[in-house]
Amino acid sequence: MKELLAAVLISLAFTLACLYLHIMPSSNSMINLRTSTLSDEKPLISNEYLTIAITYHKEHPAFAKRPLTTYLVEKLSSISSLDLGTSFTVINFSFLFLCGLAVYWCSTLLGHNAAEALWSMTLFYTSFSVLFSFFPPIYSYDEPLQYLLIYLSLIALLYGNWLLFVCFFSLGLIARESGLILLPGFALLVVSYEKPLSFCLKRILLLGLPVLIYATFLYVFISETNIEEASRQDFMDRFSHFFGNFRNLKFTLESFTSFLLATGLQAYLLYCYASRKLLTNTEKRYAAAFVLVLVINTLVVFLTTQARETRLFALPLIFLFPFLGKYFISEYRLIRTKISQATKMELARNFALVAVLAGLSLVVTNSYYFQTIGSPSDNLFNEYTGLAAILFFSHFVFRFVLKPKSEAVA
C-alpha cells in the first residue's frame, strides 16, 4: 500500500511539473499558445487555439477517424462549466497521470520491485516526447489516451485475460490507429516456438480480433461521415512527407535529431544492460519486440509522416518503459562500483574527458540543432538535448572508458 501511494504521488508530481512546463510564461505550447493572429496577451490556457485544434481534428480526414479524445473533451465541456481549452488540458493531463501508474503497474507485474517500477515511471515522464507532449512540433493529441489503453491491454495480457485485451486494444486503435504497428511485437510476446502450431495460430487470431473490430469501425465511420475520397487522398499525400523530411540539411538534421531524442537514450540503456548478458527470457522477448517495432515504426515515420513530430518515433518504447527502471539501477550500481575502485588519477583523467565532451555537446546543441518551426526561446528543447548529450557521454566514459587497474569489475 505504501508503494502504491508513492507511485500515485510521484505520478501526480510529474504530471503537475509537466503541466507547469507547458503553461509557464516563457513557454509557447499548444496549451498556452500565443501567435500573431491571436490575442497579444499571454493566456494561461489558450482556449482560442485549442478550440481551433479540436475543430481541425474533427474536420481533417486523417484525424476525424480518431474520435475518442475529441469526444471526451467535448463531453467534459458540455457537462461542466469548462471551456474546450480547459477541458482538453484536464482530459489529456489526467490520462498522462494514469499512464504513469499504468507503467508502474505493468512493471510490477513483470516482476520488478517497487524501486525499479518507480524508476521506470520516472524515465517515462522524463522522456522527451512525454515531457514536451504538447509543444510544437510534437503536437500530441490522442497519445495519452492511446498509451493508457495500450498499457491496459498489455496488463490484460499479463493477467491472461484475452477478452479485456481485445476490448482495450480495439479502443486503443480507435483512439489512434498507429497502434497497429505494435502487433508484430505483441506476437513475439504471446507466440512461442515451443508450443504447438494450433496454440500459436489461436493466439495470432486473438491478436487479429482488434484489427477486425477497428476495420469494422473505420468502414462504418467513413461511410457515415462521407470522407472516403478525402481519406484516400490523405493516404496518397502521406508519401510526400519523405521528401519533406530530407528536403535540405536543416530538415535532415531535425529529422534524425527527432529520432534520437525520442528513443536514443532508452535504446542505449537497453544495449548497455544487454551487453552484460543479464537479460532474462522475458526481457529478451520484450527487447526483441521493441527492436522489431522500432525498425518498422521508424521506416513508417520517415516515409509517411513529418519526422519533426518526435512523439511518432516513441511508440515502440511501450515495450521498454516497464524495464528501464531495473536497467537504470543496475547501470548506476555498476558505475558506482567502478568509480569506487578507480584511483584518483584515473578519475581525474576521465572527469576531464567528460568535461571536454560535455562542453562540445553544449556547443553542438546550440549551434547545429535547429527547429524548423517555433523558436528555441519558446521551449527547453535545446537545454534538454544538451543535458541528454552530457548524460550520455558521462555514462559512456565511466561505463566503457574507465577501466580501474586496482580491481577487475564484473
pLDDT the model gives residue 410: 45
pLDDT band at 409 (very low <50, low <70, confident <90, very high): very low
* Distance from C-alpha of 154 to C-alpha of 169, rounded to nearest angstrom: 9
Q: Binning pLDDT at 50, 70 and 90, where does residue 243 land?
A: confident
Q: In this structure, how many other beta carbons lie within 10 angstroms of the beta carbon of residue 150? A: 25
Q: In Å, what is the CA distance from 99 to each residue of 259, 342, 351, 381?
A: 22, 41, 37, 23
| Long-range residue pairs from 154-161, CB within 8 A, at least 24 positions apart, any chain | 154/106, 154/318, 155/102, 155/105, 155/106, 155/109, 157/186, 157/189, 157/190, 158/106, 158/109, 158/110, 159/109
List Cα–Cα distances, 240 to 72, 154, 234, in angstroms: 32, 34, 10
Instruction: Compute the average pLDDT of residues 345-356.
Output: 93
- Predicted local confidence at residue 40, as pLDDT: 62
| Alpha carbons 3 and 51: distance in angstroms, whole number | 39
What the block records as the C-alpha cell of 82 is: 469548462
Q: Could you give the CA distance from residue 374 to residue 136 in angstroms, rounded to a whole number? A: 7
194 sits in the region (left: phi over 0; alpha: psi -120 to 50; else beta) called alpha
Closest CA to 120 of 14, 253, 228: 14
CB 388 within 8 A of CB 356: no
194, 33 Cβ separation under 8 angstroms: no
Average pLDDT of the chain, as a whole number: 91
Rounded to two decimals, what is the model's pTM?
0.94
Range 108-119 average pLDDT: 97
Structure confidence by residue, pLDDT tens digits, 45-87: 999 999 999 999 998 888 999 999 999 999 999 999 899 999 9
| Residue pair 280/329 in contact by the 8 Å Cβ criterion | no
Cα separations in angstroms, 369 against 124, 246, 268, 314:
24, 15, 21, 19
Q: Which stretch, 2-11, 32-41, 318-327, 381-390, has highest mean pLDDT?
A: 318-327
pLDDT at position 406 over 70: no
39 pLDDT more than 70? no
**pLDDT computed for residue 366 by the predictor:** 78
Q: Residue 82 region, left (φ>0) first, then alpha (ψ -120 to 50), else beta? A: beta
Q: Is the pLDDT of residue 314 over 90?
A: yes
Contacts of 167 (CB under 8 A, 6+ apart): none
Three-class DSSP labels, the chain: CHHHHHHHHHHHHHHHHHHHHHHCCCCCCCCCCCCCCCCCCCCCCCHHHHHHHHHHHHHCHHHHCCCHHHHHHHHHHHHCCCCHHHHHHHHHHHHHHHHHHHHHHHHHHCCCCHHHHHHHHHHHHCCHHHHCCCCCCCCCCCHHHHHHHHHHHHHHHHCCCHHHHHHHHHHHHHHCHHHHHHHHHHHHHHCCCCCCHHHHHHHHHHHHHHHHHHHHHHHHHHHHHCCHHHHHHHHHHHHHHHHHHCCCHHHHHHHHHHHHHHHHHHHHHHHHHHCCCCCCHHHHHHHHHHHHHHHHHHHHHHHHCCCCCHHHHCHHHHHCHHHHHHHHHHHHHHHHHHHHHCCHHHHHHHHHHHHHHHHHHHHHHHHHCCCCCCCHHHCCHHHHHHHHHHHHHHHHHHHHHCCCCCCCCC
The pLDDT-based confidence of 392 (bands split at 50, 70, 90) is very high
Question: For 266-281, what is each residue's pLDDT tens digit?
Answer: 999 999 999 999 999 9
φ/ψ of residue 159, rounded to 5: -85, -5
- Give me the mean pLDDT over the 35-52 stretch: 78
| Residues 1-20, mean pLDDT to the nearest whole number | 95
CA–CA separation, 124 and 147 (whole Å): 11
% of residues, the chain, pLDDT over 70 = 96
Range from 101-115, 199-213, 338-352 that averages highest in pLDDT: 101-115
Mean pLDDT value across residues 100-123: 97
Least confident of 121-135, 178-192, 237-251, 338-352: 237-251
